[in-house]
Amino acid sequence: MRPFTSRQLEMTWPRLLRTVSFRLAALYLLLFTASAVVLGAVAFQAARTTLHQQMAARIDTETAFLADEFHTGGLDRLLAVVRSRERATDALEYLVQQGGKRLGGEIPASALMRPGWTTVIMSEPDENGGRPEPVRALVSDLGNGVLLGVGDSLTRMTEVEEAITSAFLWTIGVAALLGIGGGALLSRAFLSRVDAMARAAEAIIDGDIAHRLPVRGIDDDLDRLAGTLNRMLDRISTLMESLRQVSSDVAHDLRTPLSRLYQRLEDAQAHARSVPEYDTAVAAAVREAEGLLQTFAALLRIAQVEGASARTGFRTVDLSAVAETVVDAYRPDAEAAGYHLTADVTPDLFVQGDQELLTQAIANLVENALRHTPMGTRINVRLLHGATGVVLLVEDDGPGVLAADLPRLTHRFYRGEPSRATPGNGLGLSLVAAVADLHRAVLTFQNTMPGLCVRLVFPAISVGRSQTSKAGAA
């Protein structure tokens, strides 16, 4: 991956235009504009139709009124009413003609040739000196050769339509500008967070493995992505620290057995003079080599468990049956060695996990208790349903562990002072800790005065016959 340069991280328009947020804003703006245009066209046509209908209704009403005046008062009455109405504000346009001769009104007589609706252009300028205006008129035949024309100017309707169109265009324009500006602001905010994440990634690439991607705490998509990547980095850091620790432990703790092996072989080469002496030296070297192989096998097993982040192979495991099996396997040898190994297991307690690893973990706990306590010690393996899950307890009444040693019991190769004379490589509890972490179980150690209690709490998936008293004790 090539590092981001300051030039690449600049807030430039080309970068803004290429962002997903800006493209989404632009797409939304396009859809909004298209929808607004369609809705605006429909609204405009509806308004235009309404205006025309109102004009037609007004003309029809006026025509009916004047026709009634003509039929009741004659032509003179009609002309008098037309002249009086022409002087009113917002007056209509009129024409009264007989035999082709205009008797009243301002509509050109030549424009009204036959009854019906028609559009005419006024031949005279309007009162403001503007251009002639179009008039929509209704011509009616009143009888006796009299034609009545009543019209209304289309200029006012055109002005209303133009005002509606102008307002609509301004609205679309302002919405487009706001959309573009909003998209740019969103893109800038998006880019600033992406750039911050890129800078954090560069810091990590440069060796600052403790650096993490910034999280704003607003739980949006970028926050969730950063949180996921941070958890991934935490996991990588843990594995790297574990690798460094293993390397250090191997270099430090295997130096002594390797030195002993080398010393034995060197002594055999320098001092052995007979076949029995060579056989004795070789047998001792083989025992040292076997111990080394067991140590490396344990380290490999721990590494395999710690690297098994995927839990897709987990199955439902009857932990009650596993605990009973382990105790039954160790009980004969334990009793023969002078220990009292018992089990108090609630049946039908299940967990999700790897049965082989769970068996190994319980076996390591039992073996650890047998190895580091004196003869006559009572060791009890309990399994019960606690308040937070399935609880495994391995308890003894031995000497316990120094309080200062409790936090280090799961460290690789760690052995407390009282245990250095006993067989072992200090990896048994490290494997238990790795298995617990893989199964998302909580591992704790507690001195019980006397003895030690090792507690493993697994998330439960099913509980059989629970025992209330035991759950309370846990």
- For residues 445 and 215, give the distance between their C-alpha atoms in angstroms, rounded to a whole number: 35
> Cα 65 vs. chain centroid, distance in angstroms?
73
| Both tokens assigned to 349 | 């307690």
- Tell me what pLDDT residue 469 has: 36
Selected residue with higher pLDDT from 176 and 453: 453
Every domain of the chain and the residues it spans: 1-211, 221-307, 315-473
- Tell me what pLDDT residue 114 has: 75
Span 216-226, pLDDT tens digits: 888 877 788 88
Annotate 238-307 with DSSP letters as a single string.
HHHHHHHHHHHHHHHHSHHHHHHHHHHHHHHHHH--SHHHHHHHHHHHHHHHHHHHHHHHHHHHHHHHHH
Task: Label residue 143 left, alpha or beta by phi (over 0 means left) and psi (-120 to 50 means alpha).
Answer: left
Q: Return the CATH class of domain 221-307.
A: mainly alpha
- Tell me what pLDDT residue 410 has: 72
Per-residue pLDDT band at 468 (split at 50, 70, 90) = very low
Residue 63, phi then psi, degrees to nearest 5 = -65, -45
List alpha helices for 308-404, DSSP H: 319-336, 355-371
Mean pLDDT of the chain: 78
Query: Which one of 13-27, 222-236, 306-320, 330-344 scores highest in mean pLDDT?
Result: 330-344
- For residues 132 and 409, give the distance between their C-alpha atoms in angstroms, rounded to a whole number: 104
SS percent in the chain: helix, strand, coil, step 5: 55, 15, 25
CATH fold of the domain at 315-473: Heat Shock Protein 90 (3.30.565)
Selected residue with higher pLDDT from 93 and 396: 396
- For residues 286 and 125, give the distance between their C-alpha atoms in angstroms, rounded to a whole number: 125
Per-residue pLDDT band at 321 (split at 50, 70, 90) = very high
Residues 334/373, Cβ–Cβ less than 8 Å: no
pLDDT higher than threshold 50 for residue 120:
yes
- Tell me what pLDDT residue 345 has: 92
Handedness of CA 18, 21, 25, 27 (dihedral sign): positive
pLDDT higher than threshold 80 for residue 107:
no
pLDDT higher than threshold 50 for residue 171:
yes
Per-residue pLDDT band at 63 (split at 50, 70, 90) = confident
Residues 414/432, Cβ–Cβ less than 8 Å: no
Q: ∠ CA(28), CA(32), CA(38), 5° rounding?
A: 150
Rg (CA), the chain: 49
Question: What does the pLDDT average to over 59-80?
Answer: 87
- For residues 255 and 264, give the distance between their C-alpha atoms in angstroms, rounded to a whole number: 14
Span 22-62, pLDDT tens digits: 677 777 778 878 888 888 888 888 888 888 888 889 889 98
Question: What does the pLDDT average to over 52-78?
Answer: 87
Q: What predicted TM-score, i.e. pTM, was given to this entire model?
A: 0.49
- Tell me what pLDDT residue 308 has: 61
Span 265-293, pLDDT tens digits: 887 777 767 778 777 878 888 877 877 77
| Tally of residues, the chain | 474
- Tell me what pLDDT residue 7 has: 44
